[in-house]
Structure 1
Amino acid sequence: MPALAPSAFVEATDKVILFDGVCKLCHGWSRFIIHFDKAKQFKLATVQSAAGAAIMDHYQLQPSANAKDTFDTMYYIQGGRVYEKSSAFLQIMATMPYPWRLTSIFKVIPTRFRDGVYDFIASNRYKIFGKYPQCVMPTPDHEQRFLSFEKD
């Protein structure tokens, strides 16, 4: 996907991770990012949030009306470029500190195969890891890492 202009919620220099806020695996992923991203370079948003839905609309990723029900991939936005599935995961990991960035070596595996594994995990994540009944709110010390969007 070619790079797009930044939205009102995402600046050109932002590194934004969109994830499923009711998925326990995805919630654990967001906590991993917050814990190991000491430089605080990543901003997070759940697709169920107003900010997440607005970003998805801007980048035409998925109809935000269906985001709660059909979200099946994580998105990573950097420099106006959108990455999804295994490419999103590996781009994020390549930006993380050592030793986590070493996982980006898996970029040598063809995307079709990487995404096959990603899709298998994504389609079974609720069965394996569970699901929250509603989007989990960030703890007070993590709130500044999440994008927020206040409707006027």
Structure 2
Amino acid sequence: MNKWPDDDVILFDGVCIFCSRWVRFVAKRDSAKRFLFTPIQSDYGARLARAFGIDPADPDTNAVVHGGEVFMKSDAALTVLSQLPGWGWVRALFVVPKPLRDSVYSMVARNRYRIFGKYDACFVPDDDLRARVIE
């Protein structure tokens, strides 16, 4: 894949309650407002997903474009967290072997609807967050 034209974009499952809470968590702590968000159910999000090899109809990961690179699964979560004020310490978790981190991530991802629930449609962000959503 060529370099994605937009940077610091988080791709997420917009009908997943857990994923939507993740977006709110990040947005609340991202005082520099560096991250933008796109639900996989949007046109932009589906294009991004396909470019990364993610099936928009059955997403098994979130993703983030940061520094021109694409990160998925646990790498995406740790990359985002490590950019938030006060969360730089999570970089230490990169020493945990990726297969172990990703297996935990995948277990949560596979069961996210059953554990946390699912919206009937993409969640509607408040006005402040809406300005940071790309559709």
What TM-score range do you get, normalising by the shorter chain?
Answer: over 0.9
Contact 2:82 2:91 in 1 (8 A): yes
After TM superposition, the runs of 4+ consecutive aligned structure 1 residues lying more than 6 A away are none
Contact 2:54 2:60 in 1 (8 A): no
Secondary structure of the residue that 2:127 maps to in structure 1?
coil
Quick one: distance in 2 between partners of 1:6 and 1:130? 31
RMSD value, Cα:
1.4
- What is the percentage of aligned positions where both structures have the same residue? 38
Question: Which runs of no fewer than 5 residues in structure 2 stay unpaired?
Answer: none
Deviations 1:65-101 (A, max 9, x none): xx1x311101011233111000111111111111x22
TM superposition score normalised by structure 1 = 0.83
Quick one: distance in 2 between partners of 1:53 and 1:76? 14
Q: How many residues align?
A: 135
1:4 to 2, 5, 12: 2
Secondary structure of the residue that 1:138 maps to in structure 2?
coil
Question: Which runs of no fewer than 5 residues in structure 1 stay unpaired?
Answer: none
Contact 2:4 2:65 in 1 (8 A): no
Q: Does 1:139 align with 2:132?
A: no
Aligned to 1:53: 46
Deviations 1:40-72 (A, max 9, x none): 010100000111112223x24224xxx1x3111
Aligned to 2:25: 32
Secondary structure of the residue that 1:17 maps to in structure 2?
strand
Aligned to 2:9: 16
TM superposition score normalised by structure 2 = 0.92
